[in-house]
Amino acid sequence: MRILVIEDEAALRGQLAAQLGREGFRVDQTGDGDEGLYLAREYPFDGAVLDLGLPGTPGLEILRQMRAAGNRLPVLVLTARGRWQDKVEGLEAGADDYLAKPFEMEELLARLRALLRRAAGAAGQVIEAGPLRLDRAGQRLWVRGAPVELTAYEFRLLERLMAERGRVLSKRELSDYLYPHDEDRDSNVLEVLVGRLRRKLDPDGSLVPIETLRGRGYRFAIDGDPV
Ligand code: CA
């Protein structure tokens, strides 16, 4: 996933770029509004983090111009603390979410991921990858055209992995997603679930789209996906 960061505070921009990079995103960054608008127009990003006060084209104007041109890129706006007008104007100009400075990096990542997931959901109720075809609305799955029955948990797990194809999802992240109200779950539950899902997707072992990355988590990848 490719993210555009438009922020003129160099230290913050550097932190954002480094953190997003560690999370597996490809990052393009600029501190200039004109360049930001140009990049947003010319390159296919999956999401953007946009500061409002910028040299060159201001953040709100970037957002307005993008939306006027039909660009639906998910945008997380960064606002100055206490500037509630920024929030209102940002949302009116087409921001998908906003975050007041200063913020915790974890919070930014969580908000950004939520935006990306929502965008993926809106973009298509059907996700196809290799031999798999997953219908989110109908909660159905086909493998090489044949329907495969999944439990609700198996479906949710596969849907999340496929929606974030190519990204490593930690066990913690997946457990939080699948069992949000279960305080003392243990990671064996997730491992068993992954094992069962793999066998259903791939009974003869010819295709294993769910990789285990030791100590890191799981990743859905089809042959040819970048590592
Ligand atoms: Ca600024």
pLDDT at 25: 92
* Tokens read off for 144: 């090489």
Per-residue pLDDT band at 175 (split at 50, 70, 90): confident
pLDDT at 122: 63
* Tokens read off for 38: 């140009």
* CA of residue 24 to ligand 1 center, whole Å: 25
pLDDT at 131: 85
* CA of residue 32 to ligand 1 center, whole Å: 10
Taking all residues of the chain, what is their mean pLDDT, rounded to a whole number?
87
Mean pLDDT across 14-40? 95
Q: Are 86 and 79 spatial neighbours (Cβ–Cβ below 8 Å)?
A: yes
Per-residue pLDDT band at 20 (split at 50, 70, 90): very high
* CA of residue 68 to ligand 1 center, whole Å: 23
pLDDT tens digits, one per residue of 42-85: 888 989 999 999 999 999 999 999 988 878 889 999 987 667 77
Residue 227 has pLDDT above 60, yes or no: no
Per-residue pLDDT band at 123 (split at 50, 70, 90): low
* CA of residue 103 to ligand 1 center, whole Å: 14
- The rounded distance, in Å, linking the Cα atoms of 100 and 83 is 8
The full DSSP string for 60-119 is HHHHHHHHHTT----EEEEE-TT-HHHHHHHHHHT-SEEEESS--HHHHHHHHHHHHHHH
Residue 206 has pLDDT above 90, yes or no: no
pLDDT at 158: 94
- The rounded distance, in Å, linking the Cα atoms of 149 and 68 is 43
* CA of residue 78 to ligand 1 center, whole Å: 9
Specify the 3-state DSSP secondary structure of 209. coil
Cis peptide before 131 (omega within 30 of 0): no
Mean pLDDT across 113-139? 81
* CA of residue 209 to ligand 1 center, whole Å: 42
The fraction of the chain above a pLDDT of 90, given in percent, is 45
- The rounded distance, in Å, linking the Cα atoms of 131 and 209 is 10
Per-residue pLDDT band at 224 (split at 50, 70, 90): low
